[in-house]
Chains A and B, each alone.
Chain A
Amino acid sequence: MSAHAENLTHDDAHGHDGHGALAENNFLGLPNIKLAMWAFLGSECMFFGSLIGTYFFYHGNSLSGPLPKDVFSIGITSISTFLLLMSSVTMALAVDSMKQQKPSTARNFILATALLGATFVGFQVLEFHEFYTEKHLVFAGPNASLFGSTFYTMTGFHGTHVTVGVIWLVIMSILIQKKKLVPGKEAVNVEVMGLYWHFVDIVWIVIFTFVYLLEFLK
């Protein structure tokens, strides 16, 4: 070592995160996969920001009905919102169990999260169905309205994110079952999944508050 080795601000100890397989250097001491998820969620903020922004840019522009007030039923949506919020709790418990070396408990919580997520998506399907058939809010085609297009697109993309999350959770539970995903170094995978899940929840809270609730403020 040279005389100036004290210039090092970081010791030579190489962390491994068991992920990129060659994370020889691990400068921030943070697993690559976690950093990647944070960066990805930043990108997702811009994505949902643009979708929600579009919704508000067009708010009140619809030339044909129905209007938001005619279709939203806060009661039912509150229930599905509550279920989604609860899924964040089970997700957090799953992450915690994995950290405490309890893979089968973690798996159960993961499945519970997936179930709650799937129920939320189920509610959304029912909501879309009701809006379409009973309240004549149309997404596309000759009877479409601007509100219909923007509303279904925005909430549909959120629902797609939940669905992707559910698939991911199911795959993860299979991997834990097969002992291909074990506590220890790999627990970070569950944590990262959790970041995604909480993010998707937060997006829903934003949509529920600003799109649904604020509509009735005036």
Chain B
Amino acid sequence: MASIADFAAAQKPIYHQERPSKTGLLDWLTTVDHKKIGILYGGAGLFWLLVGGLEALLFRIQLAKPDQHIFVGDTFNGLVTMHATTMVFLAVMPMIAGFSNYFVPLMIGARDVAFPRMNAFSWWTFFAGSLTINASLLFCGAFPAAGWTGYAPLTTKDFGGTPIDFWWAGLTLLAVSSMVAGVNFVVTILNLRAPGMTLMRVPVLTWMMLVIQFLLAFSFPPVAVGLILLAFDRTFGTVFYSTGMGGDPHLWQHLFWLFGHPEVYVLILPSMGIVSEILPVFTRRPLFGHHAVIFSGVFIGFVGFGVWGHHMFTAGMGPIADAAFASTTAIVAIPTGVKIFNWLGTLWNSKMTFPTAMLFAVSFIPMFTLGGLSGMMHASPPLDLQQHDTYFVVAHFHYVLVGGALQGLFAGFYFYMPKISGKLLNETLGKIHFWVFLAGFNITFFPMHLLGNHGMPRRIYTYPADAGWNTENLIATSGVFLMTFATLTFVYNLITSLKNGKDAGSDPWDANTLEWMTSSPPPVHNFDFTPVVLSERPLWDHKYTPGFEIPVPEKAEEIHMPSPSWKPMWVSASAGVIIVGLLTFNGIAGIPGWPLCIVGAIGVVLSVYAWVTEPV
């Protein structure tokens, strides 16, 4: 058996940078290292997860009992809107971006992403967008309140207040960030694979990341167009969404959901990938139906572009469109089922061990399946007419998003943190986190199925005592406290284990893939030598299959690493100036803001020029 320690004996490479990396805070501002950018994304995601959780806690307190008046009207709507916007765009997506940044290059044996500075640009643009959306609280004293789906004309000047401006501005920045990141990672995964890593040897998690990068690059443009039209309506007075001028409220819905449905796959596929990586490690066998799992993920990605109308069954699209979208939606069940059965096949009759990562990965399966089943129910138009905009739908998407996406990400944290920090997370705290979270999650969201079936609509701030919804609402709110406690335990665990955690070593789980062959945390250049990939499970086969040892080169490699750069931040900042110019276009206190658009545009051109002429 070739041990992993062989690698430590490899020749240390000579690595070279045009300009040395900076230190301290300046390092974090100018870094182009995918690992540091990954940590920034992940940290931001965790922060916003807590903020989004707090928002949910507040409106669940309001709903705990009938006829309460703690958060009413637009305050309540603002909390709901920002809870969803935050969770989708500022918590789950950046956590995914964190994993994708940190681990994709490591999993494919690369030294960084294809365009490191573009990667930093994505991060800073995301950062600017996250602040912009929330800035409405500072400048208007209120949150945008038109729901995360921002249905126009609800968001036009006639119906939506100034906070909506922050909403479209922030989301537009996030859209730019995601599209750029999508292009960057598509190239990274397709082109920077280590020698020998054919597509079928690409780890499932990286595969799912590839699929979502395509989804990001291709699904954000429609919503970007929708947002631009909205911005034009609000800023210049165009009439895209004015029904009085012939505008049609379906337009936004189409543009939004053409993005929105692929987006939900962006949220779930990475977690499916994480689960597909974790199950084989703790069952000590290869993933059952490895190729089927990959192809079903790709298939889900394709079909994801053809089902958006299932969000619009009640909008009056007509029977033909309804039938078409119902059928395509039903088709999604096939690849999803393929995945579920393959995970079960991996578990079947195996000798499992259950560290926290595995607990989350295993509980992902039934929780996600429950959400998928309720999804199948409202894929049917007649059923959906009953269920649409009731708590039944709320229950559906929380089972897939929390029970699915978030649990998968939690599993990912327990599994991958040791690589990032070099320290294992505490298992006792981890198990408390898991069990309390699982209980709290089901206590909160299961009753919502019943509430929906008993007719309770979404997005109402209170309800009368005799509507028959009292018990379930009280139960649901009590579960939120359990989830809050569990999440805080997790954060405490993360922070304390950085200091007190047990040393992880390079390969704590005896795992399969390349990221575990380098030290924890990995050096700046990731690998001392570029690994040659000989199988689907290169590290496992290196350890246990004679003849499949990863060859260690005799000569040390010469490595060129990219230099730190301010340019990405300049471009993001200039884009931010354009956005501020648009927000204040018609003037604040008599001072017109539109010249800022010109300043910003010139800034973009100049900083891009500086960017392309800067030596890397």
Are A and B interaction partners? Answer: yes
Please report A residues at the B interface, Cβ cutoff 8 Å.
1-5, 7-12, 14, 20-28, 30, 32, 35-36, 39-40, 42-44, 46-47, 49-51, 54, 57-58, 61-64, 139-142, 144-146, 149-150, 153, 167, 171, 175, 180
B456 interface residue per 8 A CB criterion: no
> Which of B224, B245, B258, B530 is the one whose CB lies under 8 Å from A144?
B245
* B residues near A180, Cβ cutoff 8 Å: 613
4 A-B pairs closest in CB distance? A47-B221, A46-B221, A149-B238, A50-B225
- How distant is B148 from chain A, measured CB to nearest CB, in Å? 20
Contacts of B559 in A (CB 8 A): 22, 24
Is B561 in the interface zone, CB < 8 Å from A?
A: yes
Chain B: number of interface residues, binned into ranges: 35 or more
Once the chains bind, are B196 and A25 in contact (CB under 8 Å)? no
CB pair B197 A27 closer than 8 Å: yes
Give min CB distance, B200 to chain A, whole Å. 10
Q: Determine if A46 and B218 form an interchain contact, defined as CB atoms under 8 angstroms apart.
A: yes
B111 in contact (CB, < 8 A): yes
When distances are taken between beta carbons in the complex, the residues of chain B under 8 Å from A11 are 195
Choose from B225, B530, B612 the contact partner of A47 (Cβ within 8 Å).
Answer: B225
Using Cβ atoms and an 8 Å threshold, which residues of chain A touch B224? 47, 50
Please determine whether B247 and A36 come into contact, CB atoms closer than 8 angstroms. Answer: no
- Complex contacts, A139 vs chain B, CB 8 Å: 236, 238
User: Cα distance A25–B111 when bound, in Å?
Assistant: 9
- B residues 157-200 near A (Cβ < 8 Å) are 179, 182-184, 186-187, 190-198
23 contacts between A and B (CB under 8 A): A7-B534, A8-B195, A21-B560, A22-B111, A22-B112, A25-B110, A25-B194, A27-B191, A27-B193, A30-B191, A39-B214, A43-B217, A47-B224, A54-B229, A54-B251, A63-B244, A139-B236, A142-B237, A144-B239, A145-B245, A146-B239, A153-B232, A153-B238
State A7–B533 Cα separation when bound (angstroms): 9
| Known contacts A26-B191, A35-B114, A36-B184; 8 further A-B pairs (Cβ under 8 A) | A1-B532, A8-B534, A39-B182, A49-B221, A140-B237, A146-B239, A146-B246, A149-B239
Whether B548 and A43, one on each chain, are in contact in the complex, defined by CB atoms closer than 8 angstroms, is no
Chain B residue contacts of A7, Cβ below 8 A: 196, 534-535
| Contact (A25, B225) CB under 8 Å given A63-B246, A139-B238 | no
The answer on a CB contact under 8 Å between B246 and A140 is no
Bits for B40-65, please: 1 = Cβ < 8 Å to A, else 0. Answer: 00000000000000000000000000
- Given the complex of chains A and B, what is the CA–CA distance between A176 and B238 in angstroms? 42
Q: Does B590 contact A (CB under 8 A)?
A: no
**Given that A28-B191, A149-B239 are known contacts, is A5 also in contact with B551, CB under 8 Å in the complex?**
yes
Q: Which single member of B193, B229, B237, B248 contacts A153 (CB below 8 Å)?
A: B229
Q: Is B24 part of the binding interface, using a Cβ–Cβ cutoff of 8 Å?
A: no
- A48 → B minimal CB distance (Å): 8
Q: Given A23-B114, A39-B182, A47-B224, A10–B240 Cβ distance below 8 Å?
A: no
User: Shortest Cβ distance from B539 into chain A, in angstroms?
Assistant: 14
Report chain B residues within 8 Å CB of A149: 232, 238-240
Q: In the complex, what residues of B have CB within 8 A of residue A8's CB?
A: 195-196, 532, 534
Would you call A61 and B247 a contact (CB within 8 A)?
A: yes
Check B562 against A21 for contact (C-beta < 8 Å).
yes
Q: Is the CB of B191 within 8 A of A22?
A: no
- A40 lies within 8 A of B239 (CB): no
Whether B484 is near chain A, meaning CB under 8 Å from some CB there, is: no
Instruction: Report the bound CA distance from A23 to B193 in whole Å.
Output: 10
C-alpha gap A90/B410 in the complex (Å):
54
Across the two chains, which residue of chain B brings its CB closest to A51? B225
**Does B254 count as interface, using CB distance less than 8 angstroms?**
yes
A207–B559 Cα gap in the complex (Å)?
48
> For the complex, what is the distance from the CA of A193 to the CA of B225, rounded to whole Å?
24
CB distance from B195 to the nearest CB of A (A): 5
| Chain B residues positioned under 8 Å from A27 (CB to CB) | 190-193, 195, 197
Closest-CB distance, A199 to chain B (whole angstroms): 14
Q: How far is the CB of B493 from chain A (nearest CB, A)?
A: 35
**Nearest B residue to A3, CB-CB:** B547
Q: Is the CB of B191 within 8 A of A150?
A: no
How many Å from the CB of B59 to the closest CB on chain A? 33
B222 at the interface (CB under 8 A from A): yes
Q: Check if A5 sits within 8 Å of B247, measured CB to CB.
A: no
Instruction: Determine the residue in chain B with the shortest Cβ distance to A62.
Output: B246
Residue contact A144 to B187, C-beta cutoff 8 Å: no
Q: How far is the CA of A141 from the CA of B237 in the complex (A)?
A: 5
A28 and B190 in contact, given A36-B115, A146-B245, A150-B240 (Cβ under 8 angstroms): yes
Chain A residues within an 8 Å CB radius of B110: 24-25
CA distance A2 to B553 in the complex (A): 11
In Å, the complex CA distance between A30 and B559 comes to 21
CA distance A142 to B425 in the complex (A): 61
Q: Which residues of B contact A26 (CB under 8 A)?
A: 191-192
Determine if B248 and A25 form an interchain contact, defined as CB atoms under 8 angstroms apart.
no
Interface residues of B in 209-228 (CB under 8 A from A): 214, 217-222, 224-226, 228
Partner of B254, one of A20, A25, A57: A57
Chain A residue contacts of B239, Cβ below 8 A: 140, 144-146, 149
- Given the complex, which residues of B lie within 8 Å of A43, measured CB to CB? 179, 182-183, 217-218, 220-221
CA distance A5 to B194 in the complex (A): 14
Residue with the highest number of chain A CB atoms closer than 10 Å, among B195, B248, B549: B195
- Collect the chain B residues with CB atoms within 8 Å of residue A175's CB: 612-613
Closest to B550 in A: A2
Question: Is B238 a contact of A144 with CB atoms below 8 Å?
Answer: yes
Is residue B609 within 8 Å, beta carbon to beta carbon, of the partner chain? yes
Is B255 close to A, CB under 8 A? yes
B109 within 8 A of A: yes
A10 and B195 form a contact (CB under 8 A): yes
> A26 CA to B195 CA in the complex, in Å?
9
The answer for the CA separation of A12 and B194 in the assembled complex, in Å, is 9
Task: Looking at the assembled complex, report how far the CB atom of B244 sits from the nearest CB atom of chain A, in whole angstroms.
Answer: 8
Residue numbers in A under 8 Å from B195 (CB-CB): 8, 10-12, 25, 27
Q: Are B196 and A10 in contact (CB under 8 A)?
A: yes
Chain B 598-616 interface 0/1 with A at a Cβ cutoff of 8 Å (1 = within)? 0000000100010011001
Is B116 interfacial (CB 8 A cutoff)?
Answer: yes
Query: Using Cβ atoms and an 8 Å threshold, which residues of chain B touch A146?
Result: 239-240, 245-247
CA distance A23 to B220 in the complex (A): 27
Chain A: CB-nearest residue to B242: A146
> Which B251-276 residues have a C-beta within 8 angstroms of A?
251, 254-255, 258
Question: A39 to B549, Cβ gap below 8 A?
Answer: no
Q: Which residues of B contact A21 (CB under 8 A)?
A: 560, 562, 616
- Tell me which of B232, B547, B560 contacts A4 (CB under 8 A): B547
Within the complex, the shortest CB–CB distance from A66 to chain B, in Å, comes to 14
A25 with B193: CB separation less than 8 A = yes
| Distance in angstroms between the alpha carbons of A139 and B237 in the assembled complex | 8
Q: Within 8 Å CB of A40, what residues of B?
A: 183, 217
Residues of A within 8 A of B551 (CB): 1-2, 5
Question: Which residue of B has the minimal Cβ distance to A52?
Answer: B225
Contact status of A2 and B549, CB under 8 A, knowing A46-B221, A64-B245, A167-B605:
yes
Instruction: Decide if A20 touches B245 in the complex (CB within 8 Å).
Output: no
Interface centre among B237, B239, B562 (most CB of A within 10 A): B239
The docked-state distance in angstroms from the alpha carbon of A50 to that of B246 is: 19
* Interface residues as binary, B385-401 with A (CB distance below 8 Å gives 1, 0 otherwise): 00000000000000000
B-chain residues with CB within 8 Å of residue A1 when the two chains form the complex? 532, 551
B10 to chain A, nearest CB (A): 15
Q: Do residues A54 and B561 form an inter-chain contact, with CB atoms below 8 A? A: no
Q: How distant is the Cα of A7 from the Cα of B550 in the complex, in angstroms? A: 12
Q: Give every chain A residue within 8 A of B187 (Cβ-Cβ).
A: 32, 35-36, 39
